[in-house]
Structure 1
Amino acid sequence: MKYKFVRDILLCLVASFALFSCHQKRELRKREIVRDVKELGEVVPEQIGERLSYTADNKTLEDKVPVHSVPALQYFYQLAANQAKWSVDGQLIPAADSMLYFIDHADEVGLPAGIYHQGALDTAIQQLHAATGSGKDAALLAEVDVMMTDAFMKMASHLRYGIAPRDSITLRPDSVLTDSALVQLLSTAIKDNNIAGTFHQLEPAYEGYHSLKAALLNFKAKYQSLHWDSLPTAYVDTPAFKQLVLNRLVQTGHVDTANGHGSDTALLREGVKAFQKEFCLFEDGQAGKKTIQVMNKSYHDWMIQAAVNLDRWRKWPDSLPNRYIFVNIPGYHMMVWDSGQVVLDSRVIVGAPRTRTPLLNSRLSNFVMYPYWRVPFSISIKEMLPAIQKDPHYLAKKNLEVIDKDGNAVNPDSVPWKKFSKNYFPYVLRQMDGLENSLGIMKFNFFNKYAVYLHDTNNRGLFRNSYRAMSHGCVRIQQWDSLAMYLIKDDKRFKRDSVRAWLDKGQKKQIDLSHSIPIYLRYYTAEGKDGQMMFYEDIYGEDKVLKKLMSL
Structure 2
Amino acid sequence: MNYLRAGWIILIVIGISACGRRKGQPRQQEIVRDPRQLNEVVAAQVAERLEYVGGNEGLMEDSVPAFRLSALQHAYRQHQGAAFWSDNGRTHKAVYSLMDWIANADNYGLPPARYHLAALQGARGQLEHSRKDAALWAKMDVLLTDAFMKMASDLHFGIAPKDSITLRKDSLFSDTVLTAFLQQALQAGDVGALLQQQEPVHDGYMALKEGIRLYRDQYGGKQWDTLPQMYADTPQFRRQLAIRLMAGGHYDTTGIPETDTMPLKNAVKAFQREFNIYPDGIAGKRTIQTLNKQPGDWLLQAAVNLDRWRKFPDSLPDRYLLVNIPAFRMNVMENDTMMLESRVIVGAPRTRTPVLNSVMTNFVLYPYWRVPYSIVFKEMLPQIKKNVYYLAEKNLEVVDHKGNVVNPDTIQWERLSKKYFPYVLRQMDGLDNSLGVMKFNFMNKYSVYLHDTNNRSLFSNSNRALSHGCVRVQQWDSLAMYMVRNDPRPGIRDSVRTWLYTEQQKQYTMHKRLPIYIRYFTAELRNGKMQFYEDVYGEDQVMMRYFR
**Do the two structures share a fold, i.e. TM-score over 0.5?**
yes
1:227 is aligned to: 223
| Cα distance change of structure 1 residues 260 and 148 upon mapping to structure 2, 3 Å threshold | farther
Q: Is the 8 A contact 2:366 2:504 kept in 1?
A: yes
Q: Distance in 2 between matches of 1:205 and 1:24?
A: 43
Equivalent residue for 1:49?
Answer: 47
2: CA distance between counterparts of 1:338 and 1:429? Answer: 39
Which has the larger displacement, 230-239 or 486-495? 230-239
Aligned residue number for residue 36 of structure 2: 38
Q: Deviations over 1:288-343 (max 9, x none)?
A: 11101111112222122112111111111111222111111111111111122221
State the alpha-carbon separation in 2 of the partners of residues 72 and 333 from structure 1: 42
Moved more, 433-442 or 337-346: 337-346
How far apart in 2 are the matches of 1:24 and 1:213? 41
Within the alignment, does 1:305 sit opposite 2:301 as a pair? yes
> How many residues align structurally?
527
Matched, 1:495 2:484: no
Q: Distance in 2 between matches of 1:80 and 1:399?
A: 75
Tell me: CA distance 1:24–1:320, structure 2 relative to 1, closer, same or farther (3 Å).
Answer: closer
Cα offset for 1:138? Answer: 2.2
In the alignment, does 2:161 pair up with 1:165? Answer: yes
132, 135, 146: which is aligned to 1:136? Answer: 132
Q: Does 1:516 align with 2:507?
A: no
Q: Which residue of 1 is the match for residue 211 of structure 2?
A: 215
Is the contact between residue 261 and residue 267 of structure 1 (CA under 8 Å) also seen in structure 2? no
Q: Distance in 2 between matches of 1:377 and 1:414?
A: 21
**Contact 1:214 / 1:531 at 8 angstroms: preserved in 2?**
no
C-alpha deviation, 1:264, in angstroms: 4.5
Is residue 2:513 matched to residue 1:505? Answer: no
- 2:79 alignment counterpart: 80
Residue 352 of structure 2 contacts residue 537 of structure 2 at CA under 8 Å; is this kept in 1? yes
After superposition, the C-alpha distances for 1:468-520 in whole angstroms (9 at most, x for unaligned) are: 00011100001111111111111123521121111111111000112221111
**Quick check: 1:486 aligned with 2:482?**
yes
Question: What is the CA-CA distance between 1:123 and the residue it aligns to?
Answer: 1.1
Residue 128 of structure 1: CA displacement? 2.3
Q: Please tell me whether the aligned partners of residues 22 and 54 of structure 2 are also in contact (alpha carbons under 8 angstroms).
A: no
1:322 alignment counterpart: 318
Partners of 1:60 and 1:287 lie apart in 2 by 46
Q: Could you say what secondary structure the match of 2:322 adopts?
A: strand
> How far has the Cα of 1:217 moved from its partner?
1.2
- State the SS of the aligned residue for 1:513: strand
CA distance in 1, matches of 2:507, 2:432: 19
Select 2:338's aligned residue among 342, 355, 360. 342
**Uncovered stretches (5+) of structure 1, i.e. residues with no partner:** 1-21
SS of equivalent residue, structure 2 residue 333: strand
Q: Is the 8 A contact 1:443 1:453 kept in 2?
A: yes
User: Could you say which residue in structure 2 is the equivalent of 1:540?
Assistant: 537
SS in 2 for 1:136: coil
Q: Matches of residues 400-415 of structure 1 in structure 2 within 5 Å?
A: 400-415=396-411
Which residue in the other structure is 1:110 paired with?
A: 109
In structure 1, what is the Cα distance between the partners aligned to 2:345 and 2:498? 27
Calculate the TM-score normalised by the size of structure 2.
0.92
TM-aligned CA distance change 1:94 to 1:307, over 3 Å: same
Q: CA distance change for structure 1 residues 258 and 168 in 2, over 3 Å: closer, same or farther?
A: same
Equivalence for 1:12: none
Q: Cα gap change, 1:317/1:259 in structure 2, threshold over 3 Å: closer, same or farther? A: farther
Instruction: Say if 1:315 and 1:451 are closer, same or farther in 2 by CA, change over 3 A.
Output: same
- Which residue of the other structure, out of 373, 380, 396, is the alignment partner of 1:384? 380
> 1:56 Cα shift?
2.7
Cα–Cα, structure 1 residues 465 and 152, in superposed 2: closer, same or farther, change >3 Å? same
For the Cα contact (< 8 Å) 1:337–1:344, is it kept in 2? yes
Measure how far apart 1:261 and its partner are.
Answer: 6.3
Q: Give the Cα separation in 2 of the matches to 1:503 and 1:185.
A: 58
Aligned to 2:64: 65
Deviations 1:251-292 (A, max 9, x none): 222112235467441232122122112222222211011101
Task: Return the TM-score normalized by structure 1.
Answer: 0.91
Shift of 1:91: 3.5
Q: Following the alignment from structure 1 to structure 2, what is the Cα–Cα distance between the partners of residues 245 and 86?
A: 52
CA RMSD of aligned residues (A): 2.0
1:369 aligns with 2:365: yes
More moved, 471-480 vs 135-144: 135-144
1:246 corresponds to: 242
Identity across the alignment (%): 54
How far residue 205 of structure 1 moved from its aligned partner, in angstroms, is 1.2
Q: 1:23 to 1:412 in 2, by over 3 A?
A: closer
Amino acid at match of 2:156: R
Q: Give the distance between the partners of 1:381 and 1:42, measured in 2 at CA.
A: 74
1:456-467 alignment runs, 5 A limit: 456-467=452-463
Shift of 1:44: 2.2
Q: CA deviation at 1:443?
A: 0.4
The 8 Å contact of residues 361 and 514 in structure 2, kept in 1 or not, is answered as: yes
Distance 1:264 1:34 in 2: 74
Q: Please, which moves more after superposition, 385-394 or 325-334?
A: 385-394
Aligned-partner residue type, residue 501 of structure 2: D
Structure 2 counterpart SS, 1:108:
helix
Rounded to whole Å, the distance in 2 between the matches of 1:116 and 1:286 is 43
Distance 2:535 2:460 in 1: 20
1:45, distance to aligned residue in structure 2 (A): 2.1
How far apart in 1 are the matches of 2:506 and 2:280? 43
- The amino acid that maps onto 2:44 is E
CA distance in 2, matches of 1:457, 1:475: 10
Unaligned runs of at least 5 residues, structure 2? 1-19
Residue identity opposite 1:539 in structure 2:
V
Check whether the contact 2:21–2:54 (CA below 8 A) recurs between aligned residues. Answer: no
